[in-house]
């Protein structure tokens, strides 16, 4: 160990001596009074190349922007999305102006003030007014950008309105599962990860009567247009991320830490098909967090309906208890009579005759 330390110390001593020797050579060169001018033969060529690069760069940037416009997303289909887009382009405009100005001067000055024999450079040792200008002006601009961004983000992430349609979306390897609060009360029932099994993929807790009219859909999501939609976001296994590009919606789905995002979609799927001229257009929900080998397939179709169509679609969906009536056995005895409303008569009657007599035959056959 001591030998290694000694060798390392010796290396540092040698390197220190080399650096000191080179510094002395530099100092001796500076102190020479008979300094000579060294001008390379390509000085003018190098200066001219700055102008060439400036022109070619401007043409390339302009072409790149115009060429890529066809790949931009269309106008946002949500209220907050258009606000976000406006803020993005405002920031880009503010930042592009100094970018062009500074880079133009950088290349132009390199050409204009190239070395010329007999020319002496002038400089300002200090200029407090200039320093104040280039400090205060950027500070004000940056404060404006930060404030507008903060205000927009605060509004977007604020509490959802009371009349929001509450929908839960759960990510798992490798698909999304959507759960709705039903049509009776628009309230999602509780969930418990310990209740997850092959059928109950999101752990619906049937001890909560708000769960009785809940229904799930693993193939597509429907939302109403013109009304706030609150997405309650969960992850069942690893980190996922809910991304709806046309709505400008993006929020991580974190295991053990529910997140949320609310928005108002104001363009139905039919509106977008007419606007884009594509009869097969569909909104899409994608995962933007690499979550495993099947990440590429983790997407879901999103359908935005008008209010009447959305209510009609919800009314046609089978509740979780209708789909799996055997889960009636997991409902507490004091709530079975209420649960019977959402269970097919042929499945409910044999399962618990006392519940049938308590709820009445009419209740057991009253399906949505």
Q: What is the CATH number of the domain that holds 181?
A: 2.60.40.420
179 & 289 share domain: yes
pLDDT of 30 strictly over 70:
no
Within a domain: residue 143? yes
Residue 363 banded pLDDT, cuts 50, 70, 90? very low
* Of 53 and 15, more confident: 53
Tokens standing for residue 270: 């039919």
Classify residue 334: in a domain, yes or no.
Answer: no
Range of the domain at 83: 47-66+74-112+126-156
Q: Is residue 138 part of a domain?
A: yes
Higher-confidence position of 2 and 178: 178
Does one domain contain both 211 and 97? no
Query: If you compute the radius of gyration of the chain from its CA atoms, what whole number of angstroms results?
Result: 34
Query: Which whole-number Å values give the CA distances from 154 to 114, 131, 149, 159, 351, in the listed order?
Result: 51, 34, 9, 10, 50
The pLDDT of residue 40 is 58
Residue indicated by tokens 């001593």: 13
Q: Check whether 226 has a pLDDT greater than 80.
A: yes
Residue 224 dihedral angles phi and psi, to the nearest 5°: -85, 150
Residue 358: inside a domain, yes or no? no
Is residue 99 in some structural domain?
yes
Alpha helix positions (H), the chain: 2-31, 43-68, 79-112, 128-156, 269-276, 307-316, 320-323, 336-339, 345-351, 353-359, 361-364
Q: Is the CB of residue 238 less than 8 Å from the CB of residue 292?
A: yes
Is residue 169 domain-shared with residue 253, that is, in the same domain? yes
Q: Categorize the per-residue pLDDT at 128 as very low, low, confident or very high, splitting at 50, 70 and 90.
A: confident
Do 189 and 222 have their domain in common? yes
225 domain-assigned: yes
Say how many domains are in the chain: 2
Query: Which of 317, 332, 351 is the endpoint of a domain?
Result: 317
Query: Helix, strand, coil shares of the chain as percentages rounded to 5?
Result: 50, 20, 30
C-alpha distances in Å from residue 146, one per residue of 36, 58, 100, 159, 366: 52, 29, 22, 22, 56
CB burial of residue 286 (10 Å; 0-12, 13-18, 19+): middle
Q: Which helix (H) or strand (E) holds 263?
A: strand 259-264
What's the average model confidence in pLDDT over 118-142? Answer: 84
User: Higher-confidence residue: 130 or 249?
Assistant: 249
Regarding whether 143 and 221 lie in a shared domain, the answer is no
pLDDT tens by residue, 60-112: 999 999 999 888 888 899 999 999 999 999 999 998 998 999 999 999 998 98
Instruction: Specify the pLDDT at position 114.
Output: 84
Mark whether 226 and 101 lie in a shared domain.
Answer: no
What six digits make up the tokens of 179? Answer: 């759960």
Q: 247 with 217: CB under 8 angstroms?
A: no
Residues 179 and 219 in one domain: yes
Burial of residue 40 (number of CB atoms within 10 Å: 0-12, 13-18, 19+): exposed
- Categorize the per-residue pLDDT at 219 as very low, low, confident or very high, splitting at 50, 70 and 90: confident
pLDDT per position as a tens digit, 91-101: 999 989 989 99
* 227 and 139 in a common domain: no
**186 φ/ψ sector (left φ>0, alpha ψ -120 to 50, else beta):** left
């Amino acid at each position: 160990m001591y030998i290694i330390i000694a060798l390392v110390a010796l290396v540092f001593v040698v390197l220190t001596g080399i650096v000191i020797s080179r510094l002395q050579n530099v100092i001796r060169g500076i102190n020479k009074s008979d300094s000579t001018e060294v001008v390379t033969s390509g000085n003018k060529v190098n200066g001219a190349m700055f102008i060439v690069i400036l022109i070619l760069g401007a043409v390339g940037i302009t072409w790149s922007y115009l060429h890529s416009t066809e790949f931009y997303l269309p106008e946002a289909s949500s209220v907050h999305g258009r606000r976000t887009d406006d803020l993005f382009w405002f920031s880009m405009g503010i930042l592009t102006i100094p970018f062009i100005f500074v880079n133009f001067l950088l290349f132009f000055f390199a050409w204009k003030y190239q070395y010329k024999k007999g020319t002496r450079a002038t400089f300002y040792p200090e200029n407090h007014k200039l320093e104040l200008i280039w400090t205060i002006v950027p500070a004000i601009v940056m404060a404006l950008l930060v404030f507008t961004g903060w205000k927009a983000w605060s509004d977007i992430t604020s509490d959802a309105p009371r009349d929001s349609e509450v929908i839960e979306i759960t990510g798992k390897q490798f698909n999304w599962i959507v759960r709705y609060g039903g049509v009776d009360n628009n309230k999602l029932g509780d969930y418990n990860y310990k209740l997850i099994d092959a059928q109950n993929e999101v752990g619906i807790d049937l001890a909560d009567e708000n769960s009785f009219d809940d229904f799930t859909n693993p193939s597509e999501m429907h939302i109403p247009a013109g009304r706030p939609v609150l997405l309650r976001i969960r992850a069942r296994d690893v980190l996922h991320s809910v991304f709806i590009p046309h709505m400008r919606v993006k929020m991580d789905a974190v295991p053990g830490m529910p997140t949320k995002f609310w928005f108002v979609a104001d363009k139905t799927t039919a509106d977008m098909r007419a606007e884009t001229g594509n009869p097969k257009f569909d909104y899409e929900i994608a995962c933007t967090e690499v979550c495993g080998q099947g990440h590429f397939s983790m997407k879901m179709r999103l359908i935005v309906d008008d209010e009447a169509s959305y209510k009609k679609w919800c009314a046609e969906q089978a509740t979780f208890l209708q789909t799996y009536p055997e889960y009636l056995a997991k409902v507490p005895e004091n709530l079975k009579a209420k649960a019977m409303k959402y269970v097919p008569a042929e499945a409910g009657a044999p399962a618990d005759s006392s519940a049938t007599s308590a709820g009445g035959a009419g209740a057991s056959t009253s399906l949505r």
